[in-house]
Chains A and B, each alone.
Chain A
Amino acid sequence: MIYVTDLHKKLGEQQVLSGISLNITRGQTHVILGRSGCGKSVLLKHLVGLLQPDSGKIVIDGEDIANLRERQLGRIRKRVGILFQSGALFDSMSAAENIAFPLREAGIKDEEVIRQKVAEALEMVDLGGEQEKMPENLSGGMRKRLGLARTIVSRPACILYDEPTTGLDPIATDSINRLIRRLQKRLNATSVVVTHDMKTAFHTADRIAFLHEGRIYFDGTPKELLAAKDPILVDFIEGRSTESEE
């Protein structure tokens, strides 16, 4: 489904990605783990064309999107949806209007069809009946769910999650983890989850890639990661800092 080859990206003076190569298989959930600021979100934004690489290839369904212009990316973005870390909801629109937005942009004019699809999307993320609420009146977890409802309403073949559980309490985190898993099964969508939360990673992943110093340091199943003896992987899994206490 998605093939990333030798991806390089520099932001300002910092080399963020230094030759990322990664294959994401259709229908699977691929988690990208790594420390905060290691470039996970930068990599994710490349997968939907929000950032353009300095070099390298990103092939989605046989099409290299690395050098497509903004207007040419429109058709890719109808197949690949992204849930932003903050939800990125349109704050001047109600929950229903937020979810209806991609439908209206896709040219659907029938208000009854839009109403049904909005209700269905809200049901899928356990926000049934919250159509009229404004984003400012929703909790952090609910905002992420609403963002997810807006992403899935047009049924993308691939869903990208940018830190879906960051800033949530443990109960809300577990609820989002279950939701990601449920949606993956129900929609049979390919999912890419960027996180530094081990619980989210092990709950949702079919495969886990570990990003370190701008490269994919490890790519394997959750079992293979747990069995790894590499000190960098072990420290990360166990949440152990290498700094001394003195």
Chain B
Amino acid sequence: MLEFILHSVGSTVLRLLQYVGQLAFLARETAISIRVAPLRWGLLLRQLAEIGFRSQLVVVVTGAFTGAVFSAQTYFQFHRLGMDSAVGAVVAVSLFRELGPVLTALMLSGRVGASIAAEIGTMKVTEQIEALRALGVHPIDYLIVPRILALIISTPLLVAECIGLGIGAGYLVATQVLGVSKAYYLTNMLSFTTGRDIKMALIKGFAFAGLIGFIACEEGLKTSQGAAGVGRAPTQAVVIASLVILISNFFLSFLLNIFFPAGTY
């Protein structure tokens, strides 16, 4: 029994390490490609439109409704303690430090991660990636670099958009629906939100962009077994990316809090 447990734990850890190694290898190849190969601007712009521009609706809706409901729930609790004026600060700091980056990343892993894994996976099983190689085109240059760069450029901007809409919606709900004083709401929000919160949000957005991109590309590149494999690749990409975002967010929050401590002091 003990042997079985040790074997199961050991093989899981080995598989995990192997996966991390594969991601690190892909990241290294991508870094080499960015350094040595000419950037395909057309492909980058196309990916920016696909990943950045076309993800706005989902990010905006997520940010706005999360901010609105979070503001309302915070008000319901704080109102009993007579702390209505603190609602703005709590909503803004939470959105900057946690909710904005994490929700944006989760939405992107669903919308963009799945699409990247499915597209690259289909190209893999239909020999299109081998055709690229046979035509002297490195698949990392052509497929991976434009997607990773587009994600890294777009995600922090989408995080900012999500937070902005969340704060705006939270403000409207608190002040227009629940009757919190506009002046207190804004004053407390501005005095408790600092540049450190903004930096934390953008750094998390940048980190999550890399995770989503490399996980989705890796799942696409290792697709095999035809249609069944293509069906599995996006599911795997979304599940793995979502779990990694949630777990890494916990550690990132502690790490970044050392450099960008919460609060005004």
Contact = CB atoms under 8 A, between A and B. Distances in A.
Contacts of B130: 45, 50, 84, 88
Interface residues of A, number: 24
A88 B127 contact: yes
Given A71-B36, A84-B127, A88-B127, A50 B134 contact: yes
A48 interface: yes
Interface in A43-80: 45, 48-50, 70-71, 73-75, 77-78
Interface of A: 45, 48-50, 70-71, 73-75, 77-78, 81-82, 84-86, 88-91, 101-102, 105, 150
Contacts of B133: 49-50, 70, 73, 77
Interface residues of B, number: 13
Nearest to B119: A92
Interface in B134-151: 134-138
B128 interface: yes
Given A50-B133, A70-B133, A77-B133, A90 B128 contact: yes
Nearest to B133: A50
B138 A71 contact: yes
Contact residues of A: prevailing secondary structure: loop
Contacts of B127: 84-86, 88
A96 to B, nearest CB: 16
B131 interface: yes
Interface centre among A74, A86, A88 (most CB of B within 10 A): A88
Contacts of A81: 134
B181 interface: no
B135 A77 contact: yes
Contacts of A70: 133, 138
Nearest to A154: B135
B22 interface: no
A90 B130 CA distance: 11
Contacts of A150: 135
A160 B36 CA distance: 29
Interface in B110-132: 122, 126-128, 130-131
B227 to A, nearest CB: 14
Given A77-B134, A77-B135, 16 more contacts: A70-B133, A74-B136, A74-B138, A75-B136, A77-B133, A81-B134, A84-B131, A86-B127, A88-B128, A88-B130, A89-B131, A90-B128, A101-B135, A102-B135, A102-B136, A105-B135
